[in-house]
Structure 1
Amino acid sequence: MLNIALVGAGLMGRQHLGAIARSPRARLSVLVDPSGDAEALATEAGAAWAGTLDAVDPARADAAIIASPTPLHAAHAAPFIAAGKPVLIEKPLADSRAAAQDLLDAEARGARILLGFHRRHGGAAALATELLRSGTLGQPVAAEASCWLCKPDDYFDTAWRVGPGGGPIAINLVHDLDLFCSWFGPPARVSAMAGAAVRGLGVEDTATVQLAFRSGLLATFTVSDAIAAPWSYELTAGENPAYPQTGEGSYRIGGTLGALELPSGRFWSHVGARSWWAPMEMQELDVPDGDPLDRQFEHFCDVIEGKTAPKVTAADGWTNLALLDAIRASLEEHRAVEVDA
């Protein structure tokens, strides 16, 4: 039984706590969080509790999950990495590329770092990866993602959600950007526009992003947390029971041999000749089910046991931060910006 240290008992920390509890391969050994109810959570899970990381001996854990506030990720991961323990760090990797540098350097020296972009472990991601790898779509040419959702007014009562980094680009779009980079390779150039016409807060409520990949594929993203609509990954994938599933699609990938809608798994291709005059057929492909957080944790157990390498790395997290920096620069400078990834 693997002993897991969990740092952070906030929203995502509790999600990880559930994944640990559901796994037959691991147990929570210690929960680190200064909040008032963290000790009760630890007791309920049969684990030790510590208010600060200074009270924890990293050598007594087999691995750690870092789900503390983003600016603390690097500092909280450091003692476990120094002790040679694998770490699962909740996304984003850090609050800046400068803050992430130590993690990137540690990975280069052999540290096993898994970044918590859990959608990579979902069924829709697995289906797209397989179809792209097999050549079923032909050459990928273009892709688009819609992230349209409606956050309630009281969501913005929390101060940090109305300032820089609190909008849907940094909170929601980062997941879509990571998946597209996992499928299509390194990003090359980005152009973005954003607005706050609905709420008028100090952060965007709507944005569009055009992204060119080094492979030549072109992608378009639209994101808004002010639209009453069924087209976002959360509402279409059915991977998180907290969100009502709509059965719609939110991603489309177009290739020279066919086009795929996700997470629905609808695949379109021509019958006979590749021509706009030829009829097309649609297949409903099977999308593997299962909770991506549970799949992610089982993958982490494999990483801990030395059975596989991390699927999402610190280098992937660095690319995501570089892409966010380029989007910010494009918004500020009103031009297309090269991605320094």
Structure 2
Amino acid sequence: MSVRIGVVGLGRMGKLHCRVLSEMTQVELACVVDRDTELAAELARKYHTTALPDAPAAAEAVDAAVIAVPTVAHVEVARPFVLAGKPVLIEKPIATGSAEAEELLDLADQTGSTVHVGHTERFNPAVQAIRRFDIAPKFIEAHRISPFTFRSADIGVVLDIMIHDIDLVLMMVAAEPVQVQAVGVNVLGAPEDIANARLTFPTGCVANLTASRLAIKTERKMRIFSEQAYLSVDYAKRVGIVVKKSENLDLIQMARRMDAKDLAELALGVDYTKLVRFEELKIENTVEPLRQQAEAFCRSITDGAEPVVTGRQGLAAVRCAEAIIESIKSHPWDGSPTGRTGLDIIRKDVS
């Protein structure tokens, strides 16, 4: 029996969800919804489904729904489905604020609805490859930059782009930060477009996250340092390397026995990169991450499987993002003398 799923919000991500769901034999794309009724009608014709006027109407026609509207409307649009006890997959982030996210999750607890959050990077095969290593991170460094896409202008870069790495870091550390320091700049509008955050965790792990949506190139990289190994991964290219301590103990012991002068002499004829033993990260899964996410959503509906990213995990990511944004807003740009804090540092001089 097919699972009847509706897609609400037919922007870039909504269209992708429609395409993926329409290709799945276990799914019936039951309806599409968008405030642009012409667009909804067009996609309904393309995928041989029904265009419905709003979320409440869709909640009566489906077994579950994908919520792909702008972030500011996530909770409002998801609520009719949650009230009806229907599972929802909400695009990341779950909400613009933790209070409204928590309210929706409390409602889901009452009605029996299941809330999934679309942190699709969890399904990136590079992420799945990293998770095969049993490591306890001590330092994580992430860079996620891209040119401006003119989408998600209703939120800043922290909720738009950095949220991916926030979720991944929280997953790896299995804790929320106890200290957050951040700085950011808004260039094109009210929300921040560039941000850097330093997160300190109760485990002693420190994560340094950088995000920009004003770059001239796209880059999604992370480096993970632990006592057991060092991992470097490029999420966009889906490649990476692993340097294990256990495979390099002889090199470490040799270096520790030598003084600075001995090491300097080695530099004349030894290539360090040839000494280090490393392995390529084995990235095997070639299934599209969005397809994997949709299949996991279906398994949860039909078999009761635990969501890959639960609503509570999505809430934790938003809580962390809120703390980063608050730190950005309070950052003293010039120290104490001028009192300039937070955003709106780049502004036209007024004579």
Partner residue of 2:167 out of 163, 166, 178: 178
| TM-score for both structures, normalised by structure 2 | 0.79
Cα distance in 1 between the residues matched to 2:81 and 2:189: 39
2:226 corresponds to which residue?
Answer: 255
Counterpart check, 1:217 vs 2:188: no
Q: What corresponds to 1:39 in structure 2?
A: 41
What is the aligned partner in structure 2 of residue 8 from structure 1?
9
State the Cα distance separating 1:201 from its structure 2 match: 4.8
Match of 1:298 in 2: 295
Question: What are the ranges of 5 or more consecutive residues in structure 2 without an aligned counterpart?
Answer: 257-274, 333-351
| Alignment correspondent of 2:180 | 190
Matches within 5 A, 1:55-204: 55-56=57-58, 58-109=59-110, 110-131=112-133, 135=134, 137=135, 139-151=136-148, 155-156=149-150, 161=153, 166-188=155-177, 189-196=179-186, 199=187, 201-204=189-192
Supply the distance in 2 between the matched residues of 1:304 and 1:274 (Cα, whole angstroms): 51
Equivalent residue number for residue 329 of structure 1 = 326
Tell me the amino acid that sits aligned with residue 259 of structure 1. Answer: Y
Deviation per CA, 1:247-301: give whole Å up to 9, x if none: xxx1011111211111323111342347272842110121132211000000001
2:259 alignment counterpart: none
Counterpart of 2:252?
Answer: 275
Q: Which moved more, 1:314-323 or 1:295-304?
A: 314-323
- The SS at the match of 2:80 is helix
SS in 1 for 2:249: coil
Deviations 1:50-95 (A, max 9, x none): 1223433x34312111112223222322222232221111111122
Measure, in 2, the Cα distance between the counterparts of 1:87 and 1:202: 30
Q: Assess if the C-alpha contact under 8 Å between 1:185 and 1:214 holds in 2.
A: no
Classify 1:148/1:79 alpha carbon distance in 2 versus 1 (closer, same or farther; 3 Å).
closer
Question: What residue is the counterpart of 1:266 in the other structure?
Answer: 241
Question: Is structure 2 residue 287 aligned with structure 1 residue 285?
Answer: no
2:339 paired residue number: none
Q: Is the 8 A contact 1:194 1:204 kept in 2?
A: yes
The residue matched to 1:265 in structure 2 has which SS? strand
Query: Is 1:48 paired with 2:37?
Result: no
Percent identity, aligned pairs only, is 28
* Contact map agreement 2:83 2:108 (CA 8 A) in 1: no
AA of the residue aligned to 1:280: V
How many angstroms does 1:200 deviate by? 6.3
Aligned-residue offset at 1:103 = 1.6
CA distance in 1, matches of 2:157, 2:192: 7
Deviation at 1:19, TM superposition (A): 1.2
Q: Which residue of 2 aligns with 1:240?
A: none
Could you tell me how far 1:179 is from its partner in structure 2? 1.0
Cα-Cα RMSD: 2.2
How many residue pairs match? The answer is 302
Q: Which amino acid aligns with 1:3?
A: R
- Is the 2:96–2:159 Cα contact (8 Å) retained in structure 1? no
Measured after TM superposition, the shift of residue 317 of structure 1 is: 1.7
Mark the structure with the bigger radius of gyration. Answer: 2
Counterpart residue type for residue 190 of structure 1: V
